[in-house]
Amino acid sequence: MKVLLDLQYLNVATTGIKTYMLELANASSAYPHPDIEWIFTHDPDIQAQDSTYRFPKNKIQRLNYHLDYFRWKEFQLPDLVKKHQPDLLICPDFVSPAAALPCRRMTVIHDAFFWEMPQNYPVWWRKYFLNLVKKGLKEPTEIITTTEFSKRALQKHLKLNHPVTVIYQSQKTLGDAIDAEFLASQTLKKGEYFLHIGTFDKRKNLPVLVKAFAEMLKNTRSNFKLVLAGGAGQSVQMNDLPVVKKLVEELGLVEKVVLPGFVTDAQVKALYSAAFGYVFPSENEGFGIPVLEAMAEGVPVIHSDQPALVEVAGGAGLVTQTGDVADLSEKMILLSQDQILRDTLQKKGLERSKEFGPEKFIRAFQQRILSAAH
């Protein structure tokens, strides 16, 4: 069976979708199936390094990207389908071509953010993008999503008859390289900081984390720091980085909150290797890759009671009430003072992370691909 995997979006993806696409492409090569032939629209490594349209600086650059994306989905990708004649087309970035194609389709819709959190997106762009999504679903399509929570949300908002299948994705493969100098450059010591890695999107609730951390310091007089690693939110509406910076200054935490910006995989490994705990207070997630990454590195995790995170963590994390500063502060204090709890979370986290991974990820896809063939 011949499968065409659309990897064009890797040239702008910076969040969990990038991890999803790279892990899927790499796993398809690492764990082949004798009955499945994979064809990539782009070399994944080269496409992921293409920064032509990443982080556009003005409206003209953004417009050029949208035109390029539309041209790809509606003209160039259908041409590739005609050229390669696959049995199945997989689009892992929400959007499939609107044109009728001589093959089956799988479209990955990672979450329902566009429907549930419209305030986080420019009005015209959201309307345009959702129109692309819906047009691509007019043809017979199997929707793939990341959690049972996301499946229920999509069924509620899309109201379509397409089958929706949950395939748990893999956490990011970080490799063995570690930046040994990074912690010292950020004045960080082993076991003396809480960690969060990800963009400063509003839904991540990072101002809540900063306030909770301030309460923790006030009530314990501890020497902990808080590391918030990652780039700005993906749009002006979504970006909480200015809010966080202002809050850090107002609360007198300039020496306590570390903002290293975007970090490489080797720097991520370094941060995980010495973190006391990982905190993920997000109000809305489709999956929550960092939860599994931290667990796999032996870091105890505190996460919000957002359903997708509860589902993915599987009881291996310490749960806090979403948006509740006092409760999050109490959970951070509890973790800092209860060694038995910390040891238990580390053990459970390591076991839970084994339930995910690239081989299980691709085997689930292979099963769906072959089921579609029949």
In this structure, are 343 and 361 located in the same domain?
A: no
Mean predicted lDDT score pLDDT of the chain? 92
Q: Is the pLDDT of residue 64 over 90?
A: no
Residue 175 is assigned to a structural domain of this protein: no
In this structure, are 289 and 160 located in the same domain?
A: no
pLDDT at 62: 79
In this structure, are 159 and 215 located in the same domain?
A: no
Is 91 or 234 the better-scoring residue by pLDDT? 91
pTM summary value: 0.90
In the chain, the number of structural domains is 2
SS3 content of the chain, % helix, strand, coil (to 5): 50, 15, 35
Question: 166 phi and psi, to 5 degrees?
Answer: -90, 125
Show the tokens assigned to 364. 């689930």
Q: Is the pLDDT of residue 233 over 70?
A: no
Residue 46 CA to its chain's centroid (Å): 21
Q: Identify the burial level of 250 via C-beta atoms within 10 angstroms of its C-beta, where 0-12 means exposed, 13-18 middle and 19 or more buried.
A: exposed
pLDDT at 236: 66
CATH number of the domain encompassing residue 342: 3.40.50.2000
Q: Quick one: average pLDDT of 69-93?
A: 96
Q: Are 331 and 320 in contact (CB under 8 A)?
A: yes
In this structure, are 365 and 320 located in the same domain?
A: no
Is 326 or 357 the better-scoring residue by pLDDT? 326
pLDDT tens digit string along 136-162? 998 789 999 999 999 999 999 888 778
Range of the domain at 336: 182-353
In this structure, are 42 and 13 located in the same domain?
A: yes
Residue 218 is assigned to a structural domain of this protein: yes
Q: For residue 291, what pLDDT band results from cuts at 50, 70 and 90?
A: very high
In this structure, are 349 and 362 located in the same domain?
A: no
pLDDT tens digit string along 163-219? 899 999 998 888 788 998 999 999 999 999 999 999 898 889 999 999 999 999 999
Q: Which amino acid is at 6?
A: D
In this structure, are 121 and 214 located in the same domain?
A: no
In this structure, are 131 and 205 located in the same domain?
A: no
In this structure, are 21 and 76 located in the same domain?
A: yes
Q: Is the pLDDT of residue 374 over 60?
A: no
pLDDT tens digit string along 22-53? 999 999 999 999 999 999 999 999 999 888 87
Q: Is the pLDDT of residue 9 over 90?
A: yes
Q: Are 39 and 29 in contact (CB under 8 A)?
A: no
Q: Quick one: average pLDDT of 252-266?
A: 94
